[in-house]
């Protein structure tokens, strides 16, 4: 866990953001304490503290005095909006650049996207926009 190249506190923050986005962590859910984090993942408690500090600043988490850290109301919506804005630049653009290198046409890509519905949930919304 947390073996990536970035500073560990950034990787921890990223993991918690991903858990909030996926719904694994719901609003008002309590997250692990810094001590639990430190002993579970064998990291310095101050490193976990730094990640939590950043997430509090981003309003993903908030602190209840004496109780611990909780997922902030509206955290998931905020994260979605933010990640949506970056999706095209950071995820799709490199994939399309790779497709261009491989001579994959835009038509092929569109056909693949249309034939490939995400599992469950929002398929109705998907049909409307496609």
Partner 1 sequence: MNPLPPFTARFDDVEVTFPRSWEMGENGVARRVSGSVALENITCEFPAGQITGLLGRNGAGKSTMLSLLAAFRRPTRGAVLVGPDGDLRDPWEDAALTSAVLVVQEGGDVLQDEKVEATFSYYADLRPDWDPEYARELLDLFEVPLRKKASVLSRGKRSALAATLGLAARAPLTVFDEVYLGMDAPTRFAFYDALLADYAEHPRTIVMSSHLVEETERLFENVVLLDRGRVVLAEPADDLRTRVTSLTGPTAAVDHLAAGRDVLHRQHLGPTTRVTVHGPLSDDDARAAAAAGVTIGHEGLEGLLIHLTRSSREGTGDGGTTAGRPLAGKESHR
Name which of 27 and 33 has its Cβ closer to partner 1. 33
CA atoms of 61 and 69, how far apart (whole Å): 6
Q: What residues numbered 19-58 form the site for partner 1, per CB under 8 A?
A: 34-35, 38-39, 41-47, 50
Q: How far is the CB of 129 from partner 1 (least distance, A)?
A: 29
Estimate to the nearest angstrom the gap between the alpha carbon of 49 and the chain centroid: 19
b/e per residue 38-68 (b: at least 16 CB within 10 A)? beebebeeebbbbbbebbeeeebbeeeeeee
Name which of 39 and 123 has its Cβ closer to partner 1. 39
| By CB under 8 A, residue 7 contacts partner 1 | yes
Residue in 56, 58, 54, 64 with CA at minimum distance from that of residue 30: 64
The answer to whether the CB of 9 falls within 8 A of the CB of 54 is: yes
Q: How far is the CB of 25 from partner 1 (least distance, A)?
A: 22
Name which of 44 and 80 has its Cβ closer to partner 1. 44
Q: Helices H, strands E: what count in the chain? A: 7, 2
Q: How far is the CB of 43 from partner 1 (least distance, A)?
A: 5
Q: How far is the CB of 96 from partner 1 (least distance, A)?
A: 14
| By CB under 8 A, residue 8 contacts partner 1 | yes
Contact residues for partner 1, defined by CB under 8 A: 2, 5-9, 34-35, 38-39, 41-47, 50
């Amino acid at each position: 866990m947390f073996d990536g190249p970035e500073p560990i506190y950034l990787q921890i923050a990223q993991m918690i953001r991903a858990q909030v986005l996926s719904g694994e962590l719901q609003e008002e859910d309590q997250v692990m304490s810094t001590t639990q984090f430190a002993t579970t993942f064998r990291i310095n408690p101050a490193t976990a503290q730094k990640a939590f500090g950043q997430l509090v600043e981003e309003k993903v988490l908030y602190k209840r005095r004496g109780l611990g850290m909780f997922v902030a109301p509206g955290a998931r919506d905020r994260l979605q909006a933010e990640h949506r804005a970056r999706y095209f630049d950071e995820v799709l653009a490199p994939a399309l650049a790779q497709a261009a290198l491989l001579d994959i046409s835009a038509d092929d890509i569109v056909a693949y996207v249309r034939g490939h519905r995400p599992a469950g949930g929002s398929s109705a919304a998907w049909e409307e926009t496609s």
